[in-house]
Amino acid sequence: MDWQTITTTDYKVLPKPILPIRRDFPSYIKVTKHSHPWGQLVFLAGGALQVETSSGVYVVPAHQGLWLPPNVEHQVWCYHGAVDRSLHIEPALCEALPKEVFTFNVDGLLKALILEVCQWPKDYLVTAQKMRLIEVLLDQLGSADDSKLFIKNISDKRLLPIVQALTNDPANGLTLEQWANHVGASSRTLNRLFNVQVGCGFSLWKQKLRMIKSIEMLDAGMRSSDISDQLGYESSSAFIKAFRRHMGCSPKRYICHHFMT
């Protein structure tokens, strides 16, 4: 299917301290690369998005969030539709928030706050009561747990063949020692380079890549057994165990959340 490209229609200045954004993305939508002088809290009530920055690719599944600080250039990819309930936050309110992009787990309180603000009209009256609610929301955002659904860009030429091969085929079972013979560097050197480039060793990086691929596959409606085969897990139960460890729920529960709005 061909991708449909859309551009943002951002304000030059936000008309309110926090501006609610309600969008339902169809499949195969790409939002062109852009930035804005305010922060953005991306929350999905359903579906999934990939957000690419100069650092790498962030995956936002259903009922998870992404924080984009002001002035971060990014583009968005939506493969299979998404229910976007986001907030644009004026720069002054972003000063106490994280300075780096990160994906995060959205607990019940933060979810309720986001959805409450998203029900406000864009021309809502800024009252003391609304500002108190906004302050609680920002406190919750500032303390949210990083879900680490992020694949950092890798530039080292010795790692690129490994990265490209596993990105195209996550079931590739070559060990780091076997990769060492292919790329002309010792396994110790390669593991050290992974730690320098992405902050973790080869094994953990591969686990994270497979987890992100599994979210894309679940989003496309694939069964756990098929995902397990395509990603190289020993069994469907091994995939389910890994998914629960990383995502805090089973693939079945994730799918149930995926279709909730």
pLDDT (tens digit per residue) in 176-208: 999 999 999 999 999 999 999 998 999 999 999
Contact, 43 vs 106, CB < 8 A?
A: yes
- Please report the pLDDT score of residue 104 as a whole number: 93
Confidence check: pLDDT of 90 > 90: yes
Question: Do 50 and 76 touch, CB atoms closer than 8 A?
Answer: yes
Tokens of 255: 């799918």
Q: What is the DSSP letter of 230?
A: H
**Which one-letter DSSP state was computed for residue 120?**
S
Q: How far is CA 97 from CA 86, 135, 138, in A?
A: 16, 12, 8
pLDDT confidence of residue 261: 43
Q: Rounded CA gap, 159 and 93, in Å?
A: 40
- DSSP three-state, residue 25: strand
Per-residue pLDDT for 10 more than 80? Answer: no
Percent composition of the chain: helix, strand, coil (DSSP 3-state, to 5): 40, 25, 35
Q: Mutual orientation of helices 202-219 and 187-198 as an angle, nearest 10°?
A: 60
Identify the three-state secondary structure at position 103.
strand
Q: What is the pLDDT of residues 48-65, one digit of tens each?
A: 899 999 999 999 988 889
Closest CA to 10 of 49, 50, 42, 38: 38
d(CA 150, CA 51): 9
Three-state secondary structure call for residue 177: helix
Residue 119 per-residue DSSP state: T
The mean pLDDT of the chain is 91
CATH superfamily, domain 154-258, is: Homeodomain-like (1.10.10.60)
What are the residue ranges spanned by the domains of the chain?
4-142, 154-258
Which range, of 22-31, 38-47, 127-136, 213-222, averages the lowest pLDDT?
213-222
Range name among 1-5, 6-10, 90-94 with the lowest pLDDT average:
6-10
Rounded to two decimals, the pTM is: 0.85
Residue 9 — pLDDT band, cuts 50, 70, 90? low
Specify the 3-state DSSP secondary structure of 136: helix
Tell me which CATH code domain 4-142 carries: 2.60.120.810
pLDDT tier, 258 (very low <50, low <70, confident <90, very high otherwise): low
Contact 103, 65 (CB under 8 A): yes
Gap between the Cα atoms of 5 and 52, Å rounded? 15
Which two tokens mark 31?
């939002």
Q: Is the pLDDT of residue 131 over 60?
A: yes
Angle between helices 251-258 and 224-231 (to 10 degrees): 120
Nearest 10 degrees: Cα torsion 229, 241, 112, 58: -50
Q: What are phi and psi of 150, to 5 degrees?
A: -145, 130
The reported pLDDT for the residue numbered 204 is 92
> What pLDDT does 148 receive?
84
